[in-house]
C-alpha cells in the first residue's frame, strides 16, 4: 500500500521498470490507465494513471462515471 486516502488503500500495480522493458511482449499489453489501483473497505476498486487521478476520482466520483 502506498497511501490510505479517505478510506481507500491506494497501491501502485506496476513498479518494476526493469522487468517491464526486459519482456517486450508486456510492453504492448500494458495499460497506462491501470497503473494505480484504489480499493475501499467494501471491496470496490478504481484504476487510474496517476496517484493524483485516483485522488480526483475519490473526491469527485460523479465526474468519472
Predicted confidence at residue 23, as pLDDT, reads 47
DSSP state for residue 63 in the 8-state scheme: G
Digitized pLDDT (tens) for each residue of the chain, 65 residues in all: 789 999 999 998 875 444 444 444 444 455 677 889 999 999 999 999 999 999 999 999 999 87
Q: Which residue, chain included where needed, has cell 506496476?
A: 14
Most distant pair of Cα atoms in the chain: their distance? 39
Tell me the C-alpha distance between 44 and 46, whole Å: 7
| pLDDT of amino acid 13 | 85
Q: Where are the domains of the chain?
A: 3-64
* Structure confidence at residue 22 (pLDDT): 46
Residue 29 pLDDT? 54
Three-state SS at 44 = coil
Amino acid at each position: 500500500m502506498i497511501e490510505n486516502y479517505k478510506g481507500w488503500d491506494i497501491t501502485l500495480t506496476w513498479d518494476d521498470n526493469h522487468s517491464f522493458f526486459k519482456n517486450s511482449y508486456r510492453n504492448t499489453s500494458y495499460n497506462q490507465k491501470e497503473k494505480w489501483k484504489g480499493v475501499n473497505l467494501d471491496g470496490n476498486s478504481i484504476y487510474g494513471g496517476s496517484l493524483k487521478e485516483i485522488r480526483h476520482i475519490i473526491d469527485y466520483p460523479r465526474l468519472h462515471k
